[in-house]
Chain A
Amino acid sequence: MIPFSRRAVLMGLGAAGLSAAVPGPAKAQNPFQRIDGRPWFFLSDAEARFFAAAGDTLIPGDEFPSATQAGVVDFIDLQLAGPYGQGATLYLKGPFPQGTSAQGWQMPYTPADLFRRGIALMGDSGTPLADLDAEGRNDAMTRLSEGETDIGPDIPATGLFDELWALVREGYFADPIYGGNRDYAGWEMVGFPGAHAYYLDFVEVNAPYPVQPRGIAHVPGTNRPAEFPGARRGG
């Protein structure tokens, strides 16, 4: 039997591929390696490929990692499996009449439901995002962000895009304990020093702050946090 591999799932992306799913050699200690064999907590393989393709369109790789290289798909998988995805802080009592944009979320779905339905409906009506080339993905994201993608009557396209873009950015910049921002990819890019925050002597200094990022579970003497918590918990 061929063991499950998240990496293999994401490598199955079409012609445009993803710089993406494969961590570079310099990242040999990448926690991704440790959860590669873990089945998704929430996502299907097709959903994982959607988030990888969307993530790397929104945050492509350059001299800094792409969204998937930074672990954003793993982050989204965990988020959708957890309290956020399951709507723990959403008031979801009906009825659900259509509102104005000023009235905010009026969909009868948890975030997890929203993406499950939304991705399926978008897949039904055209080529899955992951099977498009780079230009096609860009066009698809532009249409989605501008509300021009038809995802059925009860999912506004911009609502889905806003939620998607928020998740991708969270995955790129949240503390690495949540599975994204791998090896402090996002924090290194902008120069954010992280969770160990004490700046009393630097407030008035007009200069870059010369300290490497450190997360909540930072391992002293390394450039990484403690191992990915999902892996530590075991099955």
Chain B
Amino acid sequence: MVTTLPKTDVVIVGAGWTGLAAAYELAHNGQRCVVLERGSYRHDATDFAGPEEHDELKYARRKEHMIDTPVKTLSFRNNRDEQALPMRRLGSFLPGKGLGGAGIHWNGQLWRPLPSDLEMRSHYTDRYGASILDGMTVQDWGVTYDELEPHLDFFDRICGTAGIAGNIGGEIQEGGNPFEGPRSAPYPNPPMKTPPPLQRFHDAAQGMGLHPFQMPSANVTQSYENPYGAQLHPCTYCGFCERFGCGYYAKADPIICIYDRLKGHENFELRFETHVLRVEKSSDGQTVTGVTYVDAEGREVFQPADVVCLNAYGLWNVHLMLVSGLGERYDPATGEGTLGRNYAYQTIAAVSVIFEEDVWSNPFIGAGALGMTVDDYNGDNFDHTGLGFVGGGYISANQTNGRPINYQPVPPGTPSWGLEWKQALRETYAHHVGIVCHGSSMSVPENYLDLDPTWTDDYGQPLLRLTFDFPDNDRRMAAWVLDRAEEIARNMEGVRHISTSNNAAEGEAYSIVPYQTTHNTGGAVMGTDPATSVVNRYGQHWDYHNVFVFGACLFPQNLGYNPTGPLMGLAYWTIEHMKRDYLPDPRPLMDA
């Protein structure tokens, strides 16, 4: 028996970054918003404070802040010839749970896309000819950099981002990233400090004619009040960032930056421990009527709403649309259908740098976004003629997460256990830095999301099924960018050993086991053509005009940047068009 509740104006699935941003803006716009969150209440002050939060075993190893696979998981295979099997334990990526979602355990590396990234097919076709994209389903996003810029800038202000702008209104700025698109304003806060290894990376890169700059950081560098009135404090470089919440109020997250400023609003209601099963379609064939969820007592509840916003983690948004039948499922055999199409990831390679004894990295001193970066080899910032690939990545020396269980650098050739290993570890630990190549990920016809035919969750719904391997384009890109990173490492002062690793190395299948990054993209991509996108350029569903989709599932292919900045720019872009255009006159905002 299903309980039907009174209708609300807007129902929002998920209380992370995008869901709370939508709730804040729409509640203040006069819409009554009900937010449904699968997890529980938690707060930075009461749940993330040190020293208890500084527990590597509990949070980084046992992943206490992340989704539990018995609650929500997917099945995985490298290709269609294999049987997908359940991801029984978290590994390659770490979706969140509870208030704030994955937004509480991010690193705070806050980027924006390059202008050419957003018009990728057009841009590459113009510069190199269309054949450079053969075999890939790369496409334009349908929204331009200039259109997104005010929203990217607003999110920088929500987070109090720290950094040096590289381009303000077309004027290149000393010390920033000269490749970035024009900004309307500088970063709200000054950049982070520079530990000794990052200074050495900076000097080497600069000496090679590259353009190093301090990575833009949502680990805040001074007292700051955001546009919603939230107070943030300076980062302490405690080193417990990725996989942890921040009890110092120093890493911008959805709880302190948005929820605290919204929680008392009369138009806002948040229901915890509500597991949304499906979006219900109307008999009119062009709208939905609301969502059905299971509450904490196991009761099925129907929440009617004029508008449904999907703000779960990108993968789960796609799952919810698949089990609700919102759109035509993608079939890689025919290329027909859009839902589940263009799944992409992130292509990560790395250089491990061990210094001489007199260079102290003290890797426990760190912050999620403490990095010295060059963007010279990202996107189309360099000439791809003759290279055999598109895309690229930033190269960054990061001092982020040097805790002793997960961070155990030893020189190449060291045995992996025993006395020699033990001695090598203690000689290396405080004299090491990692350089990451944070590479883009192109969409191809064989990488996609659909539903698993065998395994189900506790509610009897089929698991999401992920079919993915690194495309050849990205393998070539990763190898090439890794060579560039190794060159920088070789030019750094005081280096004793260098070694490299590449998740996308030739002949290595993508593995769901080792952590790579929580940057899953696509599956419900945006665009201007309903034949190749699930939602239009405003994030509005092509077939059901009162459904708006948020998050990295919108990305047609993945950038060489971390997704939170871009996806929040898109969120505020969508919200603006809902407020200004859709809600006063609900209808499809684009002609199909």
Contact = CB atoms under 8 A, between A and B. Distances in A.
Interface in A64-92: 64, 83-84, 88-92
Contacts of A102: 76, 78, 509-513
B289 to A, nearest CB: 32
The majority secondary structure among interface residues of chain B is loop
Contacts of A218: 51
A103 B85 CA distance: 7
Interface string A187-212: 10111111111111011111111000
Interface stretch (A17-25, A45-53, A147-155, A165-173): A165-173
Contact of A192 (B50, B68, B194, B404): B404
A60 B425 CA distance: 13
B173 interface: no
B89 A100 contact: no
Contacts of B76: 102-103
Nearest to B84: A103
Contacts of A104: 87-89, 91, 511-513
Interface size class of A (residues with CB under 8 A): 35 or more
Interface string B51-66: 1101111000111000
A221 interface: no
Given A102-B512, A106-B88, A197-B239, A209 B404 contact: no
Interface of A is mostly: loop
Contact of A60 (B86, B234, B418, B513): B418
Interface in A93-123: 93, 95, 97, 99-106
A195 B364 contact: no
A62 interface: yes
Interface in B349-367: 358-360, 362, 364-365
A89 B89 contact: yes
A211 to B, nearest CB: 10
Contacts of B405: 169-170, 173-174
A206 B359 contact: yes
Given A102-B512, A104-B87, A216-B54, A89 B69 contact: yes
Contacts of A215: 51
29 contacts: A57-B417, A58-B418, A60-B419, A62-B423, A83-B62, A89-B90, A90-B70, A91-B73, A92-B88, A99-B85, A102-B509, A104-B89, A105-B89, A106-B85, A165-B416, A165-B417, A175-B56, A189-B425, A190-B404, A190-B430, A195-B51, A196-B54, A197-B236, A198-B238, A199-B362, A204-B194, A209-B360, A209-B362, A214-B51
Interface of B: 50-52, 54-57, 61-63, 68-70, 73, 76-78, 82-83, 85-91, 193-196, 199, 234-240, 358-360, 362, 364-365, 403-405, 408, 416-419, 422-423, 425-426, 429-430, 454-456, 509-513
Interface of A: 57-60, 62, 64, 83-84, 88-93, 95, 97, 99-106, 138, 141, 145, 165, 169-170, 173-175, 177-178, 186-187, 189-200, 202-209, 214-216, 218
